[in-house]
Chains A and B, each alone.
Chain A
Amino acid sequence: DTAVSQTPKYLVTQMGNDKSIKCEQNLGHDTMYWYKQDSKKFLKIMFSYNNKELIINETVPNRFSPKSPDKAHLNLHINSLELGDSAVYFCASLSPNTEAFFGQGTRLTVV
């Protein structure tokens, strides 16, 4: 069983569209994150949630809205997609001993 799973793995969409990326973890962890990885592999934290509550909200455009229906899920909705949103988005969860478990990533391409 995959510990942290994201869907879809690839997403190609036009500018201006609204899209969602889903993330689920079956590890029972309380803390989950969304990261954005650009073409130079730089990994930037976007959000973190602890037990469905928003904990960290970096300087991210408000077109990005995370939703955590329960502590096993942290979805990312993006409105009015722009070319600069093209990147790989990673979901991760944090174990009690602070090890992060990452999903496989979602490669978003905005055309």
Chain B
Amino acid sequence: GDSVTQMEGPVTLSEEAFLTINCTYTATGYPSLFWYVQYPGEGLQLLLKATKADDKGSNKGFEATYRKETTSFHLEKGSVQVSDSAVYFCALSDRDNNNDMRFGAGTRLTVKP
């Protein structure tokens, strides 16, 4: 079945550091890929998405590129802020598989001033 594997955390960075969180997927169809963010005590919110190969999703300085050849969707940000501290989830949605929506294990990011 479909699955998502993402880098285990926790990740601790200093403000203005470069962030990469790795994500790879397996899917039977041609999925859409997402990054969601969860702040403490809240539900998940969409951060960015990409629906086809070579698409780049971007939002709030975060970016991720859909790489079909490596089945990857790594999240990057050039300069993190304290307010970026949260749990980040990579996810896929597979229209060819009943819109099955799968999430990675989540990566907790802490940014220190």
A contact set with B: CB distance below 8 Å: 4, 31, 33, 35, 40-43, 45, 48, 50, 55-56, 90, 92, 94, 97-100, 102-105
Contact = CB atoms under 8 A, between A and B. Distances in A.
Contacts, number: 65
A55 B87 contact: no
B82 interface: no
B99 A48 contact: yes
Contact of B102 (A45, A90, A103): A45
Interface string B61-84: 000000000000000000000000
A47 B47 CA distance: 23
Interface of B: 32, 34, 36, 38, 42-46, 49, 51, 87, 89, 91, 93, 95, 98-103, 105-106, 108
